[in-house]
Amino acid sequence: MAELEAGAGICSTSHRVGLAEKRFRDYWRGLSQSGKPGRPILSKEIRDLIRDMWRSNPTWGSPRIVGELRKLGITVSKSTVEKYRLQVRKPPSPTWKAFLNNHMKDIVACDFFTVPTIQCRVLFVFILLAHERRRMVHVNITDHPTAQWPTQQIAAYSRLLSHLENYRRIPVLGFDEAAATEFQRLRRRLRLGTMDLKIAAVVLSRGAMLLSRNLGDLNQIPELHVEDWTSPC
């Protein structure tokens, strides 16, 4: 039987499939680039022209260069232009982790949650958390939330930050040696509270004016200039 199959030219199915695949490859290789694999080689003049155009016009992108080359009768693809033009190494953009590290102190997160009470009521809690220290910086509770209520809480926190920033700009006067000397002098003459005498001593040693509502005690110091800005004019 084997001799009969060999004499009749009978071949296996896998062999015939392999012959068909080879014929298919040879056919399409003959249609594309005359049997030469890969892209056609771009001439050195065109490569130099792409680099010169990009060097003279650094704001042009690859599509613009492709269009300008077509005006000269040169047809190239966008990927070809990107391959042969000069590559500019830009500094790496900051990562998301670097962004968080740089702006951690300015980022806050807000959240809502509900708390059921023993009287079967539901309280709505709004909190603001500072990412820098992971601490709670603002909290408020209501049993009847409205659409404006969260906005009001954020606005209140913004005003608080503004006041804190203003307070940071105010210099703090320390209890130095001059203030200690003035404190001992006032203590021998007057019978007032220790903290009132220390505050007055700091103000007198600096030649400043004291703002306070405790006019009854501090007015007993004749050389101290005290004013109450909270009282109506």
- The pLDDT tens digits of the residues spanning 172-223 come to 888 888 889 988 988 888 888 888 888 889 998 888 888 888 888 888 888 8
Residues 194 and 223 in one domain: yes
Q: Is residue 198 part of a domain?
A: yes
Residues 28 and 63 in one domain: no
Task: Specify the number of domains making up the chain.
Answer: 4
Residue 5 reports pLDDT greater than 50: no
H helices within the chain, ranges in order? 2-8, 13-31, 44-56, 62-71, 78-84, 96-102, 149-168, 177-189, 194-206, 215-218
* Domain C-terminal end among 125, 143, 168: 168
- Predicted confidence band of residue 10 (pLDDT cuts 50, 70, 90): low
Residues 12 and 66 in one domain: no
Query: pTM for the whole thing?
Result: 0.38
pLDDT tens figures, 87-104: 777 777 788 888 888 888
Q: Is residue 158 part of a domain?
A: yes
- For residues 198 and 217, the answer to whether their CB atoms sit within 8 Å is no
Q: What torsion, rounded to 10 degrees, do the Cα atoms 52, 58, 62, 66 define? A: -50
Residues 76 and 24 in one domain: no
- Predicted confidence band of residue 6 (pLDDT cuts 50, 70, 90): very low
- What pLDDT is recorded for position 32? 64
- For residues 176 and 183, the answer to whether their CB atoms sit within 8 Å is no
Residue range(s) defining the domain that contains residue 119: 99-168
Residue 153 reports pLDDT greater than 50: yes
Name the phi and psi angles at 231, rounded to 5. -80, 145
- For residues 161 and 184, the answer to whether their CB atoms sit within 8 Å is no
Residues 202 and 164 in one domain: no
- What pLDDT is recorded for position 160? 85
Mean pLDDT of the chain: 83
Q: Which residue type, as a one-letter code, is found at position 211?
A: L
